[in-house]
Amino acid sequence: MRLQGIPKAKIAEELGIQDVGRLKIWMRKYREQGDFGLMEHRGRRKEYKDLEREVKRLRLENDVL
């Protein structure tokens, strides 16, 4: 919609988004990170850290073997 020259305020109105600022943030995140930028990230950081540690541990174990 935005690529068609429709103003952000009009897009927000059509989609039922009351805060145009929130729409701007979503658009920037999508532009910078694609679909990943719009995903929910709260509460996942610990999971990612745990996975990173596990991968590191397994790589070290493989090096020893």
Q: How confident is the model at residue 47 (pLDDT cuts 50, 70, 90)?
A: low
Residue range 17-40: mean pLDDT, rounded? 87
Residue range 28-51: mean pLDDT, rounded? 77
pLDDT, tens digit, 9 for 90 and up, residues 3-27: 678 888 888 889 899 999 999 998 8
Decide if pLDDT at 48 tops 80: no
Q: How confident is the model at residue 53 (pLDDT cuts 50, 70, 90)?
A: confident
DSSP 15-50: HT-S-HHHHHHHHHHHHHHGGGGGS--TTTHHHHHH
